[in-house]
C-alpha cells in the first residue's frame, strides 16, 4: 500500500465530502439567486423535450443502482433470496440500459447547447467542465458495467469497492481493499469524486432542491382573494354627497376636503 493509495482512498474522500457540504452551504448562503438550472427552454424546446427526460430517467436509475450496489451488503440481498448470478445479470442489463440512456441524453443536451446560438451563449465555463467530468464518469461507468461484468469473467466489486465505500462513513477507511481493484473501477471512483467536488459550483446543485420539494405537500394555502370579501365597485372613489351649491364653483373643492 503506497502513499498514493492512502491519499486517494483514505484522505481524498473526506476532502470531497467537506467540499460538497461546505460548498453547498456557501452557495445557499451567498448565491441563492444562482441556485437554479438556468433553464434554456425559452431558446429551444423541441430537442430539450426529448433529451432532458431521457437523461434524467437514465441518471435516476443509475443513482438507484449505485445506492444498492454500494450501500447494500451482499449478505442482505442473499438473505432476500437474490443469488449472486441473478444480481449481476440484473446489474449488467439494467445498468447498461440506464447508462446508455444517460449517455444519449447528455450527448443530445451537449449537441443542443453547442448548435443553438442563444443556448451556447448562456453556457459558462463551469457548465463545460461539468459536462466533461459527467460524460467521463458515465463512460467509465459503462466500461466497468459492460467489460468488467459482461464481457470478461467478471469482477465482484461488492467484495472490495462497496466495503471500502461504507467504511468511509464510519471514519475507518479500509484503504487496502482498493489496492488491487481494476483500473477501470478506480478511474470511475475518481471521476465520481471529482464530480461531487464540482457539484456545489455548477448547475447540478439544483438537485438538492428536490429535498425541499417535500415541503410543497404540506404548504399552507395561498389566498389571493377571499370569496366572502365584499367586492368594491370599480370606478372613481366617492367624494361625498353633493349639497347646496353655496359657494358656486368652490363647493366641489369643499366636498373633497371633507
**Which residues line the annotated binding site for heme b?**
56, 66, 188, 206
Four-residue CA torsion sign, 59, 64, 67, 68: negative
Do 8 and 185 touch, CB atoms closer than 8 A? no
**Residue 109 burial by Cβ neighbours in a 10 Å radius (0-12, 13-18, 19+):** buried
User: Residues near 145 by Cβ (< 8 Å), separated by ≥ 6?
Assistant: 91, 92, 95, 96, 99
Helix (H) or strand (E) holding 17: helix 12-30
Q: Whole-angstrom Cα distance, residue 50 to residue 31? A: 30
94 within 8 A of 65, measured Cβ to Cβ? yes
Other Cβ atoms less than 10 A from the Cβ of 20: the count is: 17
Q: Which residue has the cell 442563444?
A: 118
Binding site per annotation, positions: 56, 66, 188, 206
How many Cα atoms occupy the beta-carbon half-sphere of 76 within 13 Å?
A: 7
Distance from chain centroid for Cα 38: 13
Compute how many other C-beta atoms are within 10 angstroms of the C-beta atom of residue 60.
13
Amino acid at each position: 500500500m503506497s502513499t498514493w493509495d492512502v491519499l486517494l482512498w483514505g484522505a481524498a474522500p473526506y476532502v470531497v465530502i467537506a467540499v460538497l457540504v461546505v460548498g453547498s452551504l456557501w452557495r445557499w448562503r451567498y448565491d441563492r439567486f444562482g441556485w437554479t438550472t438556468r433553464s434554456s427552454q425559452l431558446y429551444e424546446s423541441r430537442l430539450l423535450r426529448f433529451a432532458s427526460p431521457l437523461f434524467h430517467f437514465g441518471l435516476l436509475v443509475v443513482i438507484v443502482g449505485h445506492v444498492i450496489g454500494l450501500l447494500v451488503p451482499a449478505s442482505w440481498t442473499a438473505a432476500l433470496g437474490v443469488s449472486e448470478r441473478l444480481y449481476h445479470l440484473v446489474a449488467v442489463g439494467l445498468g447498461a440500459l440506464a447508462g446508455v440512456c444517460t449517455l444519449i441524453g447528455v450527448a443530445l443536451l451537449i449537441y443542443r447547447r453547442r448548435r443553438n446560438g442563444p443556448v451556447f451563449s448562456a453556457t459558462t465555463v463551469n457548465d463545460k467542465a461539468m459536462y466533461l467530468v459527467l460524460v467521463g464518469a458515465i463512460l467509465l461507468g459503462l466500461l466497468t458495467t459492460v467489460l468488467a461484468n459482461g464481457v470478461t469473467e467478471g469482477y465482484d466489486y461488492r467484495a472490495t469497492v462497496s466495503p471500502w465505500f461504507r467504511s468511509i462513513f464510519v471514519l475507518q477507511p479500509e484503504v487496502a481493499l482498493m489496492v488491487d481493484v481494476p483500473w477501470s473501477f478506480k478511474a470511475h471512483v475518481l471521476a465520481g469524486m471529482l464530480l461531487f467536488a464540482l457539484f456545489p459550483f455548477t448547475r447540478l446543485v439544483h438537485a438538492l432542491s428536490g429535498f425541499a420539494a417535500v415541503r410543497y405537500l404540506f404548504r399552507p394555502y395561498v389566498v389571493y382573494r377571499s370569496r366572502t370579501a365584499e367586492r368594491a365597485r370599480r370606478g372613481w372613489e366617492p367624494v361625498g354627497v353633493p349639497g347646496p351649491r353655496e359657494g358656486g364653483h368652490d363647493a366641489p373643492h369643499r366636498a373633497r376636503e371633507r
